[in-house]
Amino acid sequence: MTTYIVLLNWTDQGVRSVKESPRRLDAAKKQLQDMGGSFKQFFLTMGDHDMVAVCEAPDDAVMARFALTLGMGGNVRSRTLKAFPEAAYREIMASLG
């Protein structure tokens, strides 16, 4: 599984119905699970982003489909970062000339 960091911000629509956000989070978790992935951690945050999720998915195409599905709902905008665990980081660094 590949790890992704998802940075989320509510849209105007999403913040107007912010009390529904926990229900939407549950639905998003189920959607990603149905696609073969999972939420590993979820945070409400203060600062540049409203929420941050750490997710796993089988591949980039699954994560792209999930992110697009979230966006189609109109409640959040997301930025997805592919994350390399420490072992992969060390392998990449060791492969440098």
**Residue 97: predicted pLDDT:** 82
User: What is the CATH number that goes with domain 2-94?
Assistant: 3.30.70.920
Nearest Cα residue to 2 out of 45, 32, 42: 32
Output DSSP code: residue 35: T
Under the banding of pLDDT at 50, 70 and 90, the label for residue 58 is very high
Backbone angles phi and psi of 49, in degrees to 5:
-125, 145
From CA 66, how far away is CA 36, in angstroms rounded?
A: 11
**Cβ neighbours of residue 37 under 8 Å, at least 6 residues apart?**
1, 55, 56, 57, 58, 62, 63, 66
Q: pLDDT, tens digit, for every residue of 7-49?
A: 999 999 999 999 999 999 999 999 999 999 999 999 999 999 9
**Residue 40: predicted pLDDT:** 98
Residue reference for tokens 């592919």: 82
